[in-house]
A and B are shown apart, each in its own frame.
Chain A
Amino acid sequence: MVDDKTVRYIAALARLHIEAADEGKFARELEAILHYVEKLGVLDVTAVKPTSHVLDVENVFRDDAVKPGLSQEQALAFSVDKLNGSYKVPRVIE
């Protein structure tokens, strides 16, 4: 059962701002999604091997060899704010 408290918790984890008035709506929508996925529970999967990936592929490696990356200018081109070759972000205090 998804209640308003759960919605607020998930929103906090996702750093989303949700208006108090919308909490009930999101609770109903999330509930519906969970309910939909729960339908899978009716299947008998005792004979199915648990798996974490859909592809039947294993051991894809790269060799320990250097490849050129981006220049500082290219890397910082995506930033909204920068200073001294670094990304500038709102202060996080430790």
Chain B
Amino acid sequence: MTTFETVIGLEVHLQLKTKTKIFCGCRNEFGHEPNTNVCPVCLGLPGTLPVLNRQVLLDGVKVGLALNCTINNFVKFDRKNYFYPDLPKGYQISQFDLPIARQGYLDIVVDGTSKRIGITRAHLEEDAGKLVHDAVNNGSLVDYNRTGTPLVEIVSEPDLRSAQEAYEYLTALKLTLSYLGVSDCDMEKGSLRCDANVSIRPVGQEKLGTKTELKNLNSFSALKRAVEFEVTRQTGVILSGGQVVQETLLWNDDQGAAVAMRSKEQAHDYRYFPEPDLVPFTLEANQVQLLREGLPELPYVKLARFMARYGLNHYDAFILVQDQGLASFFEVCVKAHADAKKVANWLIGPLMKEMNERKKSFIGMSLTPQAMVAIIQKVETGVISNVIGKEVLALVLDTGKAVDAIIEEKGLAQVSDDEALGKVVDDIIAANPAAVAEIKGGKTGAIGFLVGQALKKMQGKANPKKINEILSRRLQDV
């Protein structure tokens, strides 16, 4: 039986978060009443002229540089012509043969092996409006607020060989883009959108099979599921003697199936031609160099450095670099506390737990490195227990108060004084004669039970080592 190889290329649209739209001064914001964030330019009224937002070009170059692309020093815009109600002009201003960036790559890791995925190009274009079909049964409603939102379209080479590779590529792409600060990169909100071109071919065959385009992949899991579905479908078509038809399929994540889009049946003949309303743009080499130097350290470079410099394992370093703010916070903490592994554990464990509970990224947390390090040190020196340390962290985040003040106010300091602890131990011994008898009989396992009882009574504020000492001494006397 023929075995098939999967070939996938991804087209990713990234909404830039500039203050204004790409060609007009309308706010680049969402959540407004329909058609209140529009002007004659983005509505495509006759006699208006688009003018490029400088920041959009700069952000686009940053994206190209982060993806290891060659930046074209001469770029122009083109019209992509098609009729659809979400496109008021009857064409989308995009870039055809002279995009801002080309021939880059992104490295991904699949099953522990690194693989380089080619990036064909990245170009600038304007977003379309939004169509609502549900509100009325005899028509569709159009909201042009989104029209003219700046987009960077990033097209990969057909280098991906499985749904898993596509997933890893999108993950790596999102992480890399998120470091640039040019977009929210939020798939749920649509600021990062993904289409997949999928085909299969017999293993060993050079020529690509007929591809289909999957749209409406609104999450990472949707991408994976949709590609898996489509590969199975295409394999079935070919094995039963049929041929894959080139078409656009709309993924329905609830149904776990893709259906052909009827509305865009027409052959893709976009009749691109140079946009006469926008002059071309040149990028000086020194301008590009400045942008390159201004790029932040990118996540995969940071990951490698965290492992080499701080001796972190890949797992810990990988988690830290997922959140750019958290990664920087880690480095500041490590300056004040040399045990990097311990600091990493506190951030990945208790701190990330608090972040998840509050549904916030590190940026949204009001925590100073001094406070974090103070908590770690209080635990190390036995002033508070590990459990109480986590509680103090939560209180710092809730109240913004100083670590010492919280420990003092709430009386959270660990009790180490012999007299107070001795009293508790005596109570526990008195209350658990059976366990004491067991220990006396040589079953020392019950000691742990008694220590646990004492700690419980002290609500975690007792020093376990001390309790153990006192208990051993007292048991000899009994």
Contacts and interface: CB of A to CB of B under 8 A. Distances in A.
Given A64-B20, A92-B85, A92-B133, A70 B39 contact: yes
A72 to B, nearest CB: 5
Contacts of A83: 135-136, 139, 141
B348 interface: no
A52 interface: yes
B36 A72 contact: yes
Contacts of B45: 78
B25 interface: yes
B43 A70 contact: yes
Contacts of B20: 64-67
Interface in A6-20: 12-13, 15
A91 B53 contact: no
- Chain A, interface size category, equals 35 or more
Contacts of B263: 92-94
A86 B24 contact: no
Interface string A39-79: 00000000000001101011111111111111110011010
A58 B75 CA distance: 10
Interface stretch (B117-125, B268-276, B318-326, B459-467): B268-276
B279 A70 contact: no
Nearest to A85: B34
A72 B35 contact: yes
A81 B437 CA distance: 89
Interface residues of B, number: 57
Nearest to A61: B54
Interface in B52-84: 52-57, 76, 81, 83-84
B40 interface: yes
A69 B25 contact: yes
A33 interface: no
Given A53-B274, A72-B36, A87-B35, A64 B53 contact: yes
A76 B45 CA distance: 12
B272 to A, nearest CB: 11
Given A69-B37, A75-B38, A92 B274 contact: no
Contact of A66 (B25, B35, B138): B25
B35 A52 contact: no
A84 B278 CA distance: 34
Given A52-B76, A69-B39, A91-B139, A61 B51 contact: yes
Interface string B252-277: 00000000011100100101001010
B1 interface: no
A29 B139 CA distance: 37
Contacts of A91: 133, 136-140
B142 interface: yes
A53 to B, nearest CB: 6
Nearest to B281: A59
B282 A81 contact: no
A53 B282 CA distance: 14
A68 B274 CA distance: 29
B54 A87 contact: no
Nearest to B78: A52
A65 B140 CA distance: 32
B35 A85 contact: yes
A5 interface: no
B218 to A, nearest CB: 14
B228 interface: no
Contacts of B349: none
Interface in B113-152: 131-133, 135-144
A86 B136 CA distance: 11
A66 B261 CA distance: 37
Interface in B260-309: 261-263, 266, 269, 271, 274, 276, 278-282
User: What are the 9 A-B residue pairs with the smallest beta carbon separation, nearest first?
Assistant: A67-B25, A69-B39, A86-B141, A52-B274, A61-B54, A64-B55, A87-B142, A85-B34, A62-B51
Given A66-B20, A87-B141, 7 more contacts: A12-B266, A15-B83, A61-B51, A66-B26, A69-B25, A72-B33, A92-B85
27 contacts: A53-B276, A57-B279, A58-B279, A58-B281, A60-B52, A61-B52, A61-B53, A62-B25, A62-B53, A63-B54, A64-B54, A64-B55, A67-B20, A67-B24, A67-B25, A68-B39, A69-B42, A72-B34, A72-B36, A85-B36, A86-B141, A86-B143, A89-B85, A91-B136, A92-B133, A92-B263, A93-B133
